[in-house]
Structure 1
């Protein structure tokens, strides 16, 4: 029993030490070289570690009760604590990967990775325009990182770091939801199939750009079961509490076509390797069977207002009142659309070491071990 308690403590302390070292080490070429495979993170609120804190947007979570569980203060993560990518970093013996826009990131941090994700972001520039960092802009920021690495280390060493790194993406859900809450000419002027293909095409074009810069190992989650998340349960006023069929239709289209796109990239790009986690299945099973995974509530947010706490007022967002549950560990969802740290940890375990029918053809552990 004592040994089982000791290991997480040692792991946590080691992570903190790595984080301090990554910030404080001196800036010379020898200090920048590391044998650790870096982690670069792209995407939306599922992965945003706080980039939206530094842009002009209302899509932020830098206020209580966000961050209350692990950090004890709001970091900009849309959860009560750590995200899936935070747990992945810990498992890969990396420091927690900071937001790209966080002031004070040193060149030495670049060798461990950076987080470019932005809450609300989509693969399309038309998704919540002007209020988020879309995927294409995240790519441009990564190109700046590549140039910094090449300048500091030279082409050969920079290429080694970029080729050994793992690149994680969570993108697309906001693209599918945006037409349901705002006018989208792109959505209205195309079939649903063609619209989903636009989303996937924008995503894969970014993947190809990262590949051209040396990236070879990629991690993805398919679209989660957001048709049954608390906000979706409110979309049909005549059928409150039922999963949304229009949302499900778009999600199912994306999840059917995205693996084919990844297979095409693998055939096209020599050395392209990827892990795709079936997030839809893992989330839906927890929504429908919460007690199986240690939760008491699967279809209601811990923080929010309205039926199922499905209205995103957590923390008094937009000046509105909200409710907060007593025990966050009882809940799958922390706010109306985002999971608790406890749920993130469970999903991270599946992404890290799940079998091929859960995360495949590789899992993240296998990708980090690939040279």
Structure 2
């Protein structure tokens, strides 16, 4: 307990000192950082707390115990027991933790380091979880508001330096692929599966092009993780509880086959476009199938939840339902029915940050942050 409290104090001091030391105050009191900023887009894998500021009672909410207990000692809106992949990326880049964009205390001094627009339950399509989330297009509009704010505060030239040096990190599409299979949706009825996947990728690359127009040149992406084997998905087929979902796996396979081609097209079309693509499907599936190899005891079951494999999303008495909590979080790959533990996030973040080309290609994020 004492060591955990000491760690929290050190983390706070680190962030505070870093925030002060990395700022130059110009004569008009605008705050300019010397570091490449990090702007984050996506879904619950990356959401640092945006969801809690709008939807307090939704099934996607995680602003209650036991979420956040490992590092922060209180729920932050992150769908994990602690830090996310994006938090570890920020730490590796010597940035303070990037706050959720909707945090009321945000100002231009924070935005010069970046902002997190990710939103739990979000998709690239507006038809995914409609009325409950902020889709990728809405996240883009929020980013454009930050762009206007920084240009007003810093001037066009200084703001443009921030946007051209920044790294833009995306994880989106998982909810789009799963939603039509678990909800009463007509998204598949008028499209082939190939065309549907093309729509998801097309909406994503359209947003990337808009960010590029603003000045973004360096991007990080994850391909689609092995969600077909997540506890929540593995219990959908009541005749084969615990097995990976073939319908979800088929869609993910199509996505992961097509998405790298889309990024290569962007690289040909957009001068100066550079990217890192992490093979998240392989890194996650490896840990699900071989947990002990990566320091876990359990790879196919949630630490927090109820039902078979704790695959029912009741963690923290969500929606008023009871739940179970494992004794040792570090034994588990999954914290709840669909989301990973901080320990797992740290491992994945390291692969994205400094992984070799067979894991993250053609660049890794460490290289992108170093590129001018």
When normalised by structure 2's length, the TM-score is 0.94
C-alpha distance in 1, partners of 2:21/2:108?
A: 12
Sort the Cα spacing of 1:11 and 1:55 in 2 relative to 1 into closer, same or farther, 3 A.
closer
Sort the Cα spacing of 1:37 and 1:302 in 2 relative to 1 into closer, same or farther, 3 A.
same
1:281 matched to 2:282? The reply is yes
Sort the Cα spacing of 1:128 and 1:263 in 2 relative to 1 into closer, same or farther, 3 A.
same
Q: What's the counterpart of residue 158 of structure 2?
A: 157
What CA deviation, in whole Å up to 9, does each residue of 1:106-135 have, x standing for no partner?
A: 111111000000000000000001111110
8 Å contact from structure 1 (residues 27, 108) kept in 2: no
C-alpha distance in 1, partners of 2:240/2:362?
A: 39
178-187 vs 208-217, greater mean Cα deviation: 178-187
SS at match of 1:177: helix
Q: What's the counterpart of residue 3 of structure 1?
A: none
Structure-to-structure mapping, 1:340-355, within 5 angstroms: 340-355=341-356
8 Å contact from structure 2 (residues 40, 46) kept in 1: yes
139-148 vs 233-242, greater mean Cα deviation: 233-242
Per the TM alignment, residue 238 of structure 1 is displaced from its structure 2 partner at its CA by 1.1
Per the TM alignment, residue 187 of structure 1 is displaced from its structure 2 partner at its CA by 2.0
Q: What's the counterpart of residue 87 of structure 2?
A: 86
What CA deviation, in whole Å up to 9, does each residue of 1:52-97 have, x standing for no partner?
A: 0111350210000000000000000000000000000000000000
1:169 matched to 2:170? The reply is yes
C-alpha distance in 2, partners of 1:237/1:29?
A: 64
SS at match of 1:275: strand
Q: What's the counterpart of residue 3 of structure 2?
A: none
Q: What's the counterpart of residue 325 of structure 1?
A: 326
Q: What's the counterpart of residue 14 of structure 2?
A: 14
Per the TM alignment, residue 20 of structure 1 is displaced from its structure 2 partner at its CA by 7.2
Sort the Cα spacing of 1:10 and 1:182 in 2 relative to 1 into closer, same or farther, 3 A.
closer
8 Å contact from structure 1 (residues 65, 315) kept in 2: yes
What CA deviation, in whole Å up to 9, does each residue of 1:222-244 have, x standing for no partner?
A: 00001111012111111111111
C-alpha distance in 1, partners of 2:283/2:28?
A: 43
Per the TM alignment, residue 178 of structure 1 is displaced from its structure 2 partner at its CA by 0.6
RMSD: 2.1
Q: What's the counterpart of residue 37 of structure 1?
A: 36
C-alpha distance in 2, partners of 1:354/1:219?
A: 13
177-186 vs 220-229, greater mean Cα deviation: 177-186
Structure-to-structure mapping, 1:218-229, within 5 angstroms: 218-229=219-230
Structure-to-structure mapping, 1:287-326, within 5 angstroms: 287-326=288-327
8 Å contact from structure 1 (residues 122, 135) kept in 2: yes
C-alpha distance in 2, partners of 1:356/1:26?
A: 39
Q: What's the counterpart of residue 266 of structure 1?
A: 267
8 Å contact from structure 1 (residues 42, 169) kept in 2: yes
What CA deviation, in whole Å up to 9, does each residue of 1:195-248 have, x standing for no partner?
A: 000000000000000000000000011000011110121111111111110000
What CA deviation, in whole Å up to 9, does each residue of 1:138-193 have, x standing for no partner?
A: 00000011111111111111111100000000100000011012122232210000
> Which sections of structure 1, spanning at least 5 residues, go unmatched?
1-5
8 Å contact from structure 1 (residues 15, 93) kept in 2: no
C-alpha distance in 2, partners of 1:236/1:280?
A: 21
Sort the Cα spacing of 1:222 and 1:28 in 2 relative to 1 into closer, same or farther, 3 A.
farther
Sort the Cα spacing of 1:19 and 1:314 in 2 relative to 1 into closer, same or farther, 3 A.
farther
What CA deviation, in whole Å up to 9, does each residue of 1:289-336 have, x standing for no partner?
A: 000000000000000000000000000000000000000000000000
312-321 vs 152-161, greater mean Cα deviation: 152-161
C-alpha distance in 2, partners of 1:301/1:286?
A: 13
Q: What's the counterpart of residue 128 of structure 1?
A: 129
C-alpha distance in 1, partners of 2:159/2:258?
A: 34
Q: What's the counterpart of residue 48 of structure 2?
A: 49
8 Å contact from structure 2 (residues 24, 32) kept in 1: no
8 Å contact from structure 1 (residues 29, 152) kept in 2: no
73-82 vs 154-163, greater mean Cα deviation: 154-163
Per the TM alignment, residue 31 of structure 1 is displaced from its structure 2 partner at its CA by 4.4
1:240 matched to 2:235? The reply is no
SS at match of 2:221: strand
